[in-house]
Amino acid sequence: MPKKITSKTSAVAVVSEQPEEVVIAAPVMEQLEVIIEKKQNDSESEVETDKEEVNAVDALVTELTENIATMKELSLRSQQDLKKLIREIQLERKKAEKGGKKKEKKPRNGSTGLDNDVRVSTSDFRQFVEKQYQLVKDADDKQILTELKYDSDGSLIISRKKAHQFVNAYVKLHKLKYEDNGRRIRMDKTLQKLFPDYAEKKEKGVVVKEENFFFTSVMGAISAHLEKKE
């Protein structure tokens, strides 16, 4: 049976032996949900803000690193340019101390010993030149010798340079260059007669000396056919 409690105001209150359930009105629940959701959003915003700040710091560090590298490179280049400038100034100073004048080279008269005409001393080389001079041409298809020269006693004269060019052009005209060795000359009967020291030699049909004639041998070989200039 429930107990009766009498107040001073004569009001009667009934107290249950079981605790009553707390009932929260609907508007209060909605306010609580809004507050919780706001807290969650604030936390997420803080996380995003932290990420943005970290990314900004990383970007700043990268930019500073690149700037430092650029400054180092510019500094190194400046040092190199400075050293180069110092060397140039030192050279100019030395020139100024010496008068600033370079030694003048003696002008050449356009002629060397190879350009001087000399007598052809052998009949073999004379006949070779006289027979071939209209046929033998240079790389531009021009005659090596446009005309023959003779001295007062009728001796054929030619410069060592022209004689050298003449033999080389003869080799090319008659295709006497070895295909497997462009520096070596295959001697025909004419060259064998002119330069026997370089030709092949046989004794009783056996080769006792092999042919050994090269383009580098021509200058020495023609000397035997030309008089020495005193």
Q: What is the pLDDT of residue 5?
A: 46
In a domain, 16, yes or no: no
CATH number assigned to the domain comprising residue 124: 1.10.245.10
Q: How many domains does the chain have?
A: 2
DSSP H helical ranges for 98-199: 123-132, 160-173, 189-194
Which pLDDT value is given to residue 21? Answer: 54
**Has residue 64 been placed in a domain?**
yes
Q: How far is residue 213's CA from residue 198's CA, in Å, rounded to a whole number?
A: 5
In the sheet with 117-119, reading across from the earlier edge strand, the strands are 117-119, 156-159, 149-150
pLDDT (tens digit per residue) in 187-199: 999 999 999 999 9
Q: Which regions in the chain score pLDDT beneath 50?
A: 3-16
* Segments forming the whole domain that contains residue 126: 114-225
CB 201 within 8 A of CB 189: no
Q: Residue 184 — φ and ψ, nearest 5°?
A: -100, 145
For the whole model, what pTM was predicted? 0.52
pLDDT for 68: 85
Q: Judge whether 208 lies within some domain.
A: yes
Residue 200 located in a structural domain: yes
